[in-house]
């Protein structure tokens, strides 16, 4: 038999060979990883895939510049606009009768009746644009030459502006003016010159209420019997007057002549001379405001007035007392109700209520300011009739709401005040249900 070759394998050599193989594989992997790019983040991978799907880059279209309007808002000295995120309001001015555009009209934009308005002029197509308006509610008015100043409230514009807002639906309307005429006489037919006739309400032919601004009308602040009105006229030497700039419709008027009582005419139509006032002698109230502690007159006290008569507008106002503490209220109708009160800082007189039933002439009413009125009482349990301590007594008046007192062990409470009209409420959270507000009014009997 042939002799078989017998090979003896050295285990040490096998181990060395395995180490060489492992090292070679490791070097190969290291070289491969060193030359490969780092893995991209998820965002990068998404971008790469997108670029691979669009190998040919499309040429970008040049951005079109925004065309600037020729009519821009004038920049006032204390402008209340301009922000980091610009806003724009587009609109147009049209005629109310046919909605046709009208150019060369001044447009005003304001946030309140007392703020300085921004102004611009519409283009020939009636359009306008305001840029960079501050955030908030804006009102817009079309001031067109030869058009009505008093017209439907619907003709004004309004926009709620937010940062970056683009508003393009502001439509302002203008309408042709109409006039109304009339005459002011005494109750025996003599003309009254220099009487003031004011329009305080009105409606156009569609029945829409009118106004002279988005905020309503104006008010004479220096008149004790002032009221809101839209426009006014003064009678001539023959007592005639004419009020223009009104939208066609019907209007309520009030006339006031020196030495006469105010008088109203309701529902006077435009295009006629039907407003005839026959004024009667006035009622006057005058008096002195003094302090209860020393009876000295109070200079500069405010006498507030509220007046009510059938058909009249809501009259209210205030006047200041003279250096001698005196005040005078004139022009009161012979049939009316009124309330007057003197106020000086945080103290005041009791309100004086008076009803006139036809008497005329001058009447005197002194007003006494009392700084130390006292409100007191006792709180008991409604079931046991026992006194309740620790009850909070809350007081509400024109100065605000505050905790005025707490009840004592016998249920008693008291506090002083210079205010005449109050509401008080009793509370004890977690133990008793709070009561309704109870009105406390100091009357003239306090004298």
The pLDDT value given to residue 334: 81
- State how far the Cα of 314 lies from the Cα of 340, in Å rounded to an integer: 15
Per the domain annotation, does 259 fall within a domain?
yes
* 182 band by pLDDT with thresholds 50, 70 and 90: very high
pLDDT of 98 higher than 60 = yes
* 85 band by pLDDT with thresholds 50, 70 and 90: low
Per the domain annotation, does 429 fall within a domain?
yes
The pLDDT value given to residue 446: 41
- Predicted model pTM: 0.69
pLDDT of 418 higher than 60 = yes
Q: Which residue has the higher pLDDT, 39 or 134?
A: 134
Residues 275 and 295 in one domain: no
Per the domain annotation, does 412 fall within a domain?
yes
* 24 band by pLDDT with thresholds 50, 70 and 90: low
- State how far the Cα of 255 lies from the Cα of 352, in Å rounded to an integer: 26
Q: Which residue has the higher pLDDT, 167 or 434?
A: 167
Neighbouring C-beta atoms of residue 420, cutoff 10 Å? 23
Per the domain annotation, does 211 fall within a domain?
yes
The pLDDT value given to residue 128: 96
Per the domain annotation, does 42 fall within a domain?
no
The pLDDT value given to residue 104: 94
Residues 296 and 330 in one domain: yes
How far is residue 233 CA from its own chain's centroid? Answer: 28
- State how far the Cα of 233 lies from the Cα of 244, in Å rounded to an integer: 9
Tokens representing 240 are 């005639």
Residues 145 and 170 in one domain: yes
Per the domain annotation, does 13 fall within a domain?
no
The pLDDT value given to residue 80: 44
Comparing CA positions, the residue from 124, 131, 159, 157 lying closest to residue 143 is 157
Instruction: Sort strands 367-370 and 283-291 into parallel, antiparallel or unpaired.
Output: parallel
Residues 208 and 272 in one domain: yes
Beta-carbon contacts of 4 under 8 Å, excluding residues fewer than 6 positions away, are none
Per the domain annotation, does 27 fall within a domain?
no
Output the domain CATH number for residue 323: 2.60.40.1120
* 408 band by pLDDT with thresholds 50, 70 and 90: very high
- State how far the Cα of 265 lies from the Cα of 256, in Å rounded to an integer: 12
DSSP 3-state percent helix, strand, coil across the chain (nearest 5):
10, 45, 45
- State how far the Cα of 186 lies from the Cα of 191, in Å rounded to an integer: 6
Residues 403 and 339 in one domain: no
The pLDDT value given to residue 99: 96
Q: Which residue has the higher pLDDT, 95 or 306?
A: 95
The pLDDT value given to residue 76: 40
* 377 band by pLDDT with thresholds 50, 70 and 90: very high
- 3-class secondary-structure state, position 289: strand
Q: Which of the listed residues 156, 174, 192 is the one where a domain comes to its end?
A: 174
Q: Look at 241-245, 331-335, 358-362 and tell me which has the smallest mean pLDDT.
A: 358-362
Per the domain annotation, does 51 fall within a domain?
no
Q: Which of the listed residues 351, 369, 387 is the one where a domain comes to its end?
A: 369
Residues 313 and 362 in one domain: yes
pLDDT of 417 higher than 80 = yes
DSSP 297-347: B-TT-EEEEEEE-TT---EEEEEE--TTSEEEEEEE-SEEEEEEEEEETTE
The mean pLDDT of 203-224, rounded to a whole number, is 86
Q: Which residue has the higher pLDDT, 64 or 375?
A: 375
The pLDDT value given to residue 83: 43
Residues 58-84 have pLDDT tens digits of 444 444 333 333 334 444 433 444 444
Residues 294 and 356 in one domain: yes
Residues 269 and 184 in one domain: yes
Q: Which of the listed residues 145, 174, 203 is the one where a domain comes to its end?
A: 174
The mean pLDDT of 313-338, rounded to a whole number, is 86
Beta-carbon contacts of 372 under 8 Å, excluding residues fewer than 6 positions away, are 293, 416, 418
pLDDT of 14 higher than 80 = no
User: Which residues span the domain enclosing 260?
Assistant: 178-279
99-137 core/surface letters (b: 16 or more CB in 10 A; e: else): eeebbebbbbbbbeeeeebbbbebbeebbbbbbbbebee
Residues 230-247 have pLDDT tens digits of 999 999 999 999 999 999
Mean pLDDT value across the chain: 82
Output the domain CATH number for residue 426: 2.60.40.10
CB 180 within 8 A of CB 275: yes
Residues 186 and 163 in one domain: no
Structural domain count of the chain? 4
Q: What are phi and psi of 429, to 5 degrees?
A: -55, 135
Residues 287 and 275 in one domain: no
């Amino acid at each position: 038999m042939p002799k078989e070759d017998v090979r003896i394998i050295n285990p040490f050599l096998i181990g060395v060979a395995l180490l060489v193989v492992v090292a070679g594989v490791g070097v190969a992997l290291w070289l491969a990883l060193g030359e490969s790019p780092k893995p991209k983040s998820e965002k990068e991978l998404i971008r790469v895939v997108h670029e691979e799907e669009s190998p040919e880059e499309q040429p970008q279209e040049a951005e079109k510049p925004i065309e600037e309007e020729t009519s821009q808002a004038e920049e006032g000295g204390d402008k209340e606009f301009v922000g980091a995120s610009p806003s724009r309001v587009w609109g147009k001015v049209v005629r109310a009768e046919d909605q046709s555009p009208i150019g060369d009209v001044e447009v005003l934009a304001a946030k309140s009746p007392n703020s300085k308005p921004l102004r611009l002029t519409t283009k020939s197509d009636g359009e306008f644009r305001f840029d960079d308006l501050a955030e908030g509610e804006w009102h817009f008015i079309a001031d067109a030459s030869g058009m009505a100043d008093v017209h439907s409230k619907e003709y004004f514009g309004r926009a709620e502006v937010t940062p970056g807002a683009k508003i393009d639906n502001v439509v302002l309307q203008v309408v042709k003016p109409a006039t109304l005429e009339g005459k002011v006489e005494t109750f025996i037919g003599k003309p009254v010159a220099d009487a003031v006739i004011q329009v305080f309400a009105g409606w156009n032919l569609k029945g829409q209420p009118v106004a002279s601004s988005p905020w309503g009308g104006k008010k004479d602040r220096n008149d004790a019997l002032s009221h809101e009105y839209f426009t006014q006229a003064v009678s001539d030497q023959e007592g005639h007057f004419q009020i223009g700039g009104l939208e066609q419709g019907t209007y309520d008027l009030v006339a006031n002549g020196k030495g006469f009582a105010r008088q109203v005419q309701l529902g006077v139509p435009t295009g006629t001379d039907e407003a005839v006032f026959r004024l009667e002698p006035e009622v006057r109230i005058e008096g002195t405001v003094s302090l209860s502690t020393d009876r000295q007159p109070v200079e500069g006290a405010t006498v507030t007035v509220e007046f009510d008569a059938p058909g009249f507008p809501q009259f209210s106002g205030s006047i200041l007392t003279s250096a001698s503490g005196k005040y005078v209220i004139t022009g009161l109708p012979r049939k009316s109700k009124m309330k007057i009160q003197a106020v000086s800082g945080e103290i005041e007189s009791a309100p004086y209520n008076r009803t006139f039933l036809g008497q005329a002439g001058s009447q005197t009413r002194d007003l006494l300011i009392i700084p130390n009125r006292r409100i007191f009482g006792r709180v008991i349990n409604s079931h046991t009739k026992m006194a309740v301590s620790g009850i909070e007594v809350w007081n509400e008046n024109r100065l605000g709401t505050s905790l005025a007192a707490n009840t004592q062990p016998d249920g008693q409470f008291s506090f002083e005040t210079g205010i005449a009209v109050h509401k008080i409420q009793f509370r004890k959270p977690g133990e008793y249900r709070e009561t309704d507000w109870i009105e406390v009014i100091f009357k003239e009997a306090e004298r």
